[in-house]
Amino acid sequence: MKVGIVRFPGSNCDDDAWHAVVDHLGQDAVMLWHKAHDLEGADVIILPGGFSYGDYLRAGAIARFSPIMREVMAHAKRGGIVIGICNGFQIACEAHLLPGALLPNDAGYRSMPVTVRVERTDTPFTSAASAGQLLTMPIAHGEGRFTASADELDRLEGDGQVVFRYVDSTGNPTPASNPNGASRNIAGVCNGGRNVVGLMPHPERAMEPLLGSTDGLVLFESLLATVNA
Amino acid sequence: MTATPRPGDPAITPALVAEHGLTDEEYRRMVAMLGRDPTFTELGVVSALWSEHCSYKHSLPLLRALPTKAPWVLQGPGENAGVIAVGDGLAVAFKIESHNHPSAVEPYQGAATGVGGILRDVFTMGARPVAMLNSLRFGSLDSARVRYLVAGIVKGIGDYGNCVGIPTVAGDVMFDPSYEGNPLVNAMCVGLLREEELTRAKAEGVGNPIMAVGARTGRDGIHGASFASEDLSHESDAKRPRVQVGDPFTEKLLLEATLELIASGAVVAIQDMGAAGLASSSAEMAARGDVGVVIDTTKVPVREPGMTPYEILLSESQERMLVVAHRGRDDTVREILAKWDLQAAVIGEVIAEPVYRVTEGDHVVAEFPGTKLVTDCPVYTPEARESAAVAALRGQDAHTVPEVAEESDPAWTLEHLLSSPTIAGKHWIYRQYDSTVRTNTVRGPGAGDAAVLRIRGSRRGIAAKTDCNSRYVYLDPRNGGQIAVAEAARNVACVGARPRAITNCLNFGNPKKPEVYWQFREAVAGMGEACAALDTPVTGGNVSFYNENPSGAVFPTPTVGMIGILDDVERSVGMAFAAADHSIVLIGEPTDELGASEYLARIHGLTAGAPPRCDLAKERATIEALLDAIGAGRVQSAHDCSEGGLAVALAECCIANRHAMHGARVDLSRWAGLPQRALLFGEAQARVIVSTTHPGDVVAAARRHGVSAFHIGTTAPAGEGLFIAGIAKPLAAPLARLADAYHESLARAMAPAATQEQGISS
Amino acid sequence: MKYRVQVEVLPRRGILDPQGRAVADALRTLGFADVEEVHLGRHLVVELAAASADAARASVTAMCERLLANPVTEQFVVGAAETA
Amino acid sequence: MKYRVQVEVLPRRGILDPQGRAVADALRTLGFADVEEVHLGRHLVVELAAASADAARASVTAMCERLLANPVTEQFVVGAAETA
Ligand SMILES: Nc1ncnc2c1ncn2[C@@H]1O[C@H](COP(=O)(O)OP(=O)(O)O)[C@@H](O)[C@H]1O
Ligand SMILES: [Mg+2]
C-alpha cells in the first residue's frame, strides 16, 4: 500500500499521519505538496489535520482550491480511497467529497479524548473494526460540529453514511458525550460511494500504548486490508 | 559619514526626549556616545534599545551572578534561547518570555503574540518547537474584568499554538488580588534539534547580505518595548493602537521556511524581530559578532506606503525575522521563502567599518559608532530596602489565627481548598489547548506533575514544568526564589526526569521603588542558590518590570521553566494513584509550618506568616531518592506536596484521573504532636507522595540518600473515599465531592464570563 | 474604476446558530434584557477594480458562490458597489 | 415593538487583517485577478424589543461598545433599526 499525505500550507498533522503509516503500519508513504499535480501513484490519500490557510474564512474553504485537490477529487471519482482527518474532513466537506458541513463547536475549542462508536464496517477505514466497536481517540478542534439539513441527515442515516458517532463509555450517544454539538452525535461520515471517509477524532494520535491509546490502529489496518484485498 | 535629519523630522526638544522615556542623564550619555546631537531616528532607536525590556539596565548585574554553566549546557544566556544536550546527539532549546502588558490591554492578541514571539526565539536556534507551556497569574475571578482577561488570554494562547500545531502540555496558574489589572502571561517554548543544527544570532562575514524575511512591516506595535517598560495606568488605554495582531498561519509557514533555511546552509545567523523590531535585532546581531552593519530602510518590504525610517526600525509587526545570509546565497533564501509563499528582501550588509548605520536610500538617517548602541547602555543598581509592612506580615504567627467553625470538620476545609481556583484542576484552561498534536505527548496537562514528551528515535524523554509560588516570594523573596526552583525541579523529578536547566521569567514591579528592587535582588539570589544546589543552571530568560497597577505592584513572580531529561521515557510516572492496594509512601516529613499557605489565604483571607523553610540539600536528596526509586521501576505514581499541603496532595492523587479514581486510607498518628492544620494543610517543602508495590524499596532508596520516608497508608477502591486517621477528628470524604470541587470549580467560576467575541468568526 | 462591495454571510434559517445564542445570552447577562435573538455571521468588504458597479457586484456575487459562503449552511447578501 | 438591527464589525484600519489578506490571495488564485483588498469581520443581526427605532439603535450601539466589538482592534457600524 502506498499512502499519499497532502501537505497544505498550515497542515500540522501531516507528520503524525506519516508516522502512523510508515512507523506503525510499516507501509509506504509520500508527502504530496499542495501545489503538485500528481498523486505519485498513491493508493490512499490522507487529507491530514491542521489549520490549512489558517482556517481563515472557514475551515478548509481555501485549501479545497489547491491544485492537488483537483487530482484528489479525480482519484475519489475513480473510486480511490480518500481519508479526511479533522481539518482534512473539513476540506473534504468543502470540496463536496463528503456531505454536510463542519461549523464552529457549540462551546469553543475542545482538546480531549473522546469515545466514538463504529457505525459502519463497510468502508475502507473501518473494515477491520467490528460494528459497534468503541474507540477512544483524541480530538482537538474548534470547528467540528457536523451539520446538514434534517432531510439530508435522514438520508445519510438511511444510506448508512454515518460511520462514527460520539458516545459515552457504555456506547450511548448522549448529549454529554457530544464534544462539539454535532447533529445526531455524528463524528464521521462517508460518501455515497463509500470510498471517502472523514472524521474529527485523530486516529493517528492513538497508535501506541506509550501515548495512551492504540484504538486508531484498527482504522489504519482497515486501509491495508482493503487495499490488499 | 554622519547622520543628518530628514526633511519633516521633529526637532529634538527636552519634551520629545522625555516622551521617549529617556532621562536627562541618558540623553547626555547618548550625545556623548555620538559626539553630536541625535537625529529623530537615532532618538527612537536609542529609546527602544535602552528601554528596560531590551537593555536589562536594572537587572543585568544581578543576572550575571546566576549560575549558567554545566557540561550539558550548549548555549547559555545571551542568545534567542538556551540549549542543553540531551544525549544521542540531540539537544533541547527552550526559553520563557512575558507578554504581560500587551495582554492587560488586549488579552487575546497580547497572549497570542506572546506565544508567537517565544516560538520564533526557539526555531531561530535551528530547533523544531515540540511543546509550549504557559504560566499565568490573575486577580480574583469574582471580578468580571478578570474573567474577561482569563477568557481572552487562554483563548489567545490556545488559538495561536493550536494553529501552528505545537502542543501546549503544561503550565501553572495562580490567582491573587495583587494581579488585578496586571495579569502575568509567561509563555515557554521547548524545541528539539540535533546538536550540529544549532544556529546563533551572530552577524559575521563582511559582505554578507542582511535580509528581512517573513511578513511585511506595518505600523503596528511601534515602541512596544518601551510600553512594556512602564507602569500600567489609564494612559495605557490611549496606547491601544500599539496592539499587534498575531497571524499564526504565517508563523507556521515561517517556522517551516526557517528550518529549511537553516538546513540549506545558506544562512550565517537568524534572529526574530521581536521587541523594538528591526532596530534591536540588527543592532544585537551586529554586537554579538562585533561587526558593522548598514541597513537601507527603503529596501524593507512594508505594508503601508509612506513609512518613515523611524517607523520601519521600531515597528513590532509580528512573524518577521532578520537573516544574515552567506554572500551569493540570497537567492537560495528567496527561493525557500517563496516555496512557503513568503518573501525575503536584502535590506543591508555586514561591513568592515565599525559602525551601525541606517540609510534611507542614500541619506544616512542614523549612525552609531561600533557596537556602542548595545554595549554603552546605562546600567543601574537602584536602592534596595525591605518593606517594613511585609516584614511585619512575615512575622505574624499563623498558629494564632483562630479557626472558623466549619473547620472542625477537616473534610470541609479540604473541599474548600480543592475548589480554590489556584489549586483546582485547570481543565477549563487546557481543554482549549491541543496537547497531543505531533504525537509525542506521553503526559499532557493534568496527567503528571510535569509534562513528558518522548523523543522519536531515542529512548529518552523530555520533562518540562513552570512554577512559582509568588506568595512565598512576596513574604520572603530569598526563600521564595529558592522554592520556585526547588518546586519546579521536584515536579520534574516526580515524573521520573532528572532536572537539568531552567529558563526564568522575572515579573516584578517598578525597580525604582526600593522595596521592589529589594524583592528582585533577594529573589534572584535565592534562585541562583537553588540552581547551584540542584545543578540546574540558568540558560536564559526574561525580565518584566513595571508590573503595577494603581493599587501597587504585583506579587514578585520569578517564574521558573524547568527542563528535565528521562533516560527511559517508558519509565515515566503520573500523579494519580494507579490501582487499589498500592502502598502510599511519604518521602519527606510534615512540620508545624503554616505561614504563607493557601490555607491561610483561602480560609482566612490572609497573606501572612513565614513561608516554609527551603533546605536545598534536602531538596536535592529527595530528588535523587525519587529518581532512584522511579528508575528502578518501583514507583507507580508520584506527586509532590505544594499548595494545600499533604491533605490536598493526597486528594489530588485520588481524583486527578477522573475516569479512574482511587480511594486511600492513611494514618498520620506518627505526627499527632503537630498542630493538625499544619499537618494537613501546611506546605512544608521537599515532600512527595508515592504509591508503590514495593514500599520497602522506596523507603530504602530514601534512606540511602539520607531522606526520611514513611509508609503512611494504602490505596483503595474509589468507593472507599479518602480517609485520614491519626488526627483529632478523622477526615473522611467521598471522592465524588472532592472531584466535583477540584474538577468543576474553575469552570463554575468562569461561567459568567462575558463571551469573548474576538476570533469567533474564524 | 475601483469599487468597494460589502458582503454579509449569515447562517441559513433552520441551521442551529449556537454562537449567536451564546452572544444573546452574554448580552442578557450584561443587562441587555430586551435582546431576543442574535445571529452571527461574517462581514466582508471586497475592494476590486471593475468596469462598472454592476460588473463589480456580479464579480463579488461569483466570489460568494465559489468561496465566500458555504451553500450548505450559509446565505449571503451582496451590497451595492460604491466607488472607492 | 420588536426591532432588527444589523451590525458590522471590521478590523480597524492599520491593524493587520491576516484573514482578509488570506481571502484576497485565495480569490486572486481562483482567477478574480481584480481583487485588491479584502477585509474580514463579523456581521451580527440583533433582534430586540425597544420603545422606538432610536432606542433600539442606541441599545445596540451600547452592546457593541461593551461586548460585540473589541475597541482595541475593531471598529463597528450599527445599521438602521427595522421593525421585525
Ligand atoms: N496554564 C496551564 N496550561 C496547561 N497545563 C496546566 C496549566 N496550569 C496547570 N496545568 C497543569 O495542571 C497540572 C497541575 O499543575 P499545578 O497545580 O501547577 O501542579 P503543582 O502544584 O504540582 O505544580 C499540571 O499537569 C500542569 O501542567
Ligand atoms: Mg506538583
pLDDT tens-place string over residues C4-25: 999 999 999 888 888 899 899 9
In the set B20, B53, B101, B416, the catalytic residue is: B53
Selection from B741, B682, B639, B724 nearest residue B418 by Cα: B741
Chains touching B (at least 3 CB pairs under 8 A) are A, C, D
Rounded distance from Cα B447 to ligand 1 centre (Å): 9
Mutate to test the interface with D, among A8, A56, A70 (most CBs of D within 10 A): A56
Q: How far apart are CA B702 and CA B696, in angstroms?
A: 10
Indicate if the pLDDT at residue A183 is higher than 80: yes
Q: How far apart are CA C54 and CA C57, in angstroms?
A: 5
Q: Three-state SS for D34? A: coil
Distance linking the first and last C-alpha atoms of chain C:
8
| Ligand 1 contact, B467 CB (< 6 A) | yes
Kindly report the number of other CB atoms within 10 A of residue B120's CB atom.
28
Q: What is the pLDDT of residues B554-590, one digit of tens each?
A: 999 999 999 999 999 999 999 999 999 999 999 999 9
Indicate if the pLDDT at residue B759 is higher than 50: no
Amino acid A151: pLDDT:
94
Q: Where are the domains of chain D?
A: 2-83
ipTM of this predicted complex? 0.95
Q: What is the pLDDT of residues B92-110, one digit of tens each?
A: 999 999 999 999 989 999 9
* Cα atoms in the 13 Å half-sphere on the side-chain side of B40: 15
Chain C residues closer than 8 Å to B152 by CB? none
Kindly report the number of other CB atoms within 10 A of residue B485's CB atom.
31
Q: Three-state SS for B187? A: strand
Mean pLDDT value of segment B60-70: 94
Q: How far apart are CA B552 and CA B570, in angstroms?
A: 47
Q: How far apart are CA B125 and CA B98, in angstroms?
A: 19
Would the CB atoms of B755 and C30 count as touching at under 8 Å?
no
Kindly report the number of other CB atoms within 10 A of residue B443's CB atom.
27
Q: What is the CATH number of domain D2-83?
A: 3.30.1280.10
Rounded distance from Cα B645 to ligand 2 centre (Å): 11
Selection from B112, B121, B134 nearest residue B275 by Cα: B121
- Strands A162-167 and A110-118 come out as antiparallel
Q: How far is CA A83 from CA A42, A94, A99, A216, B323, in A?
A: 13, 14, 14, 13, 39
Q: What percent of chain A is modeled with pLDDT above 90?
A: 99
Q: How far apart are CA B61 and CA B746, in angstroms?
A: 41
Q: Residue A2 burial (CB < 10 Å; 0-12/13-18/19+)? A: middle
Distance linking the first and last C-alpha atoms of chain B:
50
Q: Which long-range contacts (CB under 8 A, 24 or more apart) does B10-19 make?
A: B10/B40, B12/B37, B12/B38, B12/B39, B12/B40, B12/B43, B16/B40, B16/B43, B17/B43
Distance linking the first and last C-alpha atoms of chain A:
11
DSSP for B444-462, please give it.
-TTTSSSEEEE-TTSS-EE
User: b/e string for B573-583 if b means 16 or more Cβ within 10 A?
Assistant: bbbbbbeeebb
Domains defined along chain A, listed by start: 2-228 (3.40.50.880)
Kindly report the number of other CB atoms within 10 A of residue B480's CB atom.
28
Residues of A with active-site annotation: 86, 202, 204
Rounded distance from Cα D76 to ligand 1 centre (Å): 39
Mean pLDDT value of segment B211-217: 93
| Cβ B508 vs Cβ B556: under 8 Å | yes
Indicate if the pLDDT at residue B654 is higher than 80: yes
Q: How far apart are CA A106 and CA C13, in angstroms?
A: 17
Radius of gyration (C-alpha) of chain D in whole angstroms: 16
Which residues in B579-650 belong to E strands, given as ranges? 583-587, 637-640
Q: What is the pLDDT of residues B249-280, one digit of tens each?
A: 999 999 999 999 999 999 999 999 988 899 99
Q: Three-state SS for B535? A: coil
Beta carbons within 8 Å of D22's beta carbon, 6+ residues apart: A53, A54, A56, A57, A62, B249
Q: What is the pLDDT of residues B502-516, one digit of tens each?
A: 999 999 999 999 999
Quick check: is B99 catalytic? yes
| Cβ B260 vs Cβ B325: under 8 Å | no
| Cβ B308 vs Cβ B6: under 8 Å | yes
Helix (H) or strand (E) holding A29: strand A28-33
